[in-house]
Amino acid sequence: MSGWQETPPTAVLILRDGTRLEGRGIGATGTSAGEVCFNTAMTGYQEILTDPSYAGQIVTFTFPHVGNTGTNDEDIETVNMAAASGVRGVIIKADITNPSNYRAAERLDAWLKKRGIVGIAGLDTRALTALIRENGLADAVIAHAPDGKFDEAALRAELDAFPGLEGLDLAKEVSTTQTYHWDETRWRWGEGYGTIEDPQFHIVAIDYGAKRNILRGLTEQGARITIVPATTSAEDILALEPDGVFLSNGPGDPAATGEYAVPTIRTLIDTGKPVFGICLGHQLLGLALGGKTQKMHQGHHGANHPVKDLTTGKVEITSMNHGFSVDRDSLPSGVVETHVSLFDGSNAGLAVEGQPVFSVQYHPEASPGPHDAHYLFTRFLNHVREQKGMAAKPEFTTA
């Protein structure tokens, strides 16, 4: 399988099984090894490429036209700008065009180069997606050389040295290294981002690779947020006197991150404070409650994943990005499944009976993606409101 070429190839992608694909280089020059996954979203490529959850991965976009709205300084999801961008590479079908959007500040190719992201264009991305669906997530090395000269032996050695994501703790690589505060609210047409005024609650967010719009989803509920590094102890978190604790999304193997995260989460649960986890935070909560996690065959990466909320019977379309999942059969008594994927039936949410503790596998902030799951931020803060003797807000509104 190879991309059609008008000119000599300036980029290659070599998979662990020996598959070699040629294309046109975009973004930074150089090489990078990672796990190839495919994302089916039609919009939001800048948010995807700055999502820390993609650390260690090479993203293949199934939508053929990527880059046509350019890039800007607002649609960035990385909170820790001092950390590496996370994503190891990008694969697209069509060449990047000049941007056509009033918010565009820079062409995607230049933006990729500035962030050190190696890319390849001109591949049959849907054929690559079919290969992953059949054989599973694939480790690969991607290379971009403007002169078209590649050291094949060195590339294969770099690929051989890549350990794969199983057993890999990547949260430490993308997490903040110091505690700080967040008060920014969601973007609004004609206004941009705002600032929370007169916050009612204080939430501590453990940063395993948090996205900015998740934090904005919390501030929209009236919460000021203190963000702490992934390795922060439960004692230090409780010393901040939070009304609730948020477990963020993030990359890598939850079992590896759980070596230090699980004891902290267990202590936090025992305090009785509300706890809400998303993505990696969901998986870590599952581990802390006595469950197990497992590597998925192809993972879930896209903005059109149907999920059923078993607590309400409603079906929502969600944004997902994960290659590991919680094994529902491992969940102990007292921990209930609250959400399920309608694509493959995998677990997509859990809660502790009788306690204000719950989590979901997907991304309710929807960056990119639909807004069906925004209610989960209300559900979390309603637990806080209940403990403070305040009236709950409706989870679902027409506004």
- Measured CA to CA, the distance from residue 163 to residue 252 in angstroms comes to 12
37 catalytic per annotation: no
- Among 279, 322, 339, 374, which one carries the catalytic annotation? 279
Sign of torsion over alpha carbons 128, 171, 212, 316? positive
Cα–Cα distance between 397 and 86 in angstroms, integer? Answer: 36
Location of structure tokens 């395993």:
208
Of these residues, 300, 363, 374, 383, which one is catalytic?
A: 363
Using DSSP's 3-state secondary structure scheme, residue 44 falls into coil
Instruction: Name which of 318, 386, 332 is nearest 356 in CA terms.
Output: 386
β strands within the chain, DSSP E: 11-15, 20-27, 30-39, 57-61, 89-91, 118-121, 138-144, 180-182, 184-188, 192-195, 201-207, 223-229, 244-247, 275-278, 292-309, 315-327, 335-341, 347-352, 357-360
The CA-CA-CA angle for residues 314, 386, 372, to 5°, reads 25
The residue with tokens 């469950």 is: 291
Catalytic residue status for 144: no
Q: Is 191 a catalytic residue?
A: no
The tokens describing 55, both together, are 């650390």
- Of 35, 77, 173, 365, the active-site residue reads 365
Which two structure tokens, joined as six digits, stand for 325?
Answer: 């999942």
Which residues are tagged catalytic? 279, 363, 365
